[in-house]
Amino acid sequence: MPIIVNLDVMMAKRKISLNELSEKVDITLSNLSILKTGKAKAVRFSTLEAICKALDCQPGDLLEYREEAE
């Protein structure tokens, strides 16, 4: 998939664990892990907003588009 999730990068920059972020955003560890590993098929804007608020970042800091090689 050409959408890359950089959640782990932002978490490392902010020195926050998956458990801490899960509590702040009020999302299960398993769902946050699915998002972090890029296996999520979709993300709600409300979830994205909560993550951005917790990490003090912009959506573009978390999501990146890369064209797939053909």
Q: What is the CATH number of the domain that holds 29?
A: 1.10.260.40
Burial call 1-25: b when 16+ CB within 10 Å, e when fewer: eeeebbbeebbeeeeeeeeebbeeb
**What is the value of pTM for the model shown?**
0.89
Identify the domain containing residue 11 by its residue range. 3-65
Q: Is residue 39 part of a domain?
A: yes
User: What is the model's pLDDT at position 39?
Assistant: 92
User: What is the model's pLDDT at position 22?
Assistant: 96
Q: Is residue 70 part of a domain?
A: no
Per-residue pLDDT of the chain (70 residues; tens, 9 = 90+): 689 999 999 999 999 999 999 999 999 999 999 999 989 999 999 999 999 999 999 999 999 998 876 6
Number of structural domains found in the chain: 1
Q: Is residue 54 part of a domain?
A: yes
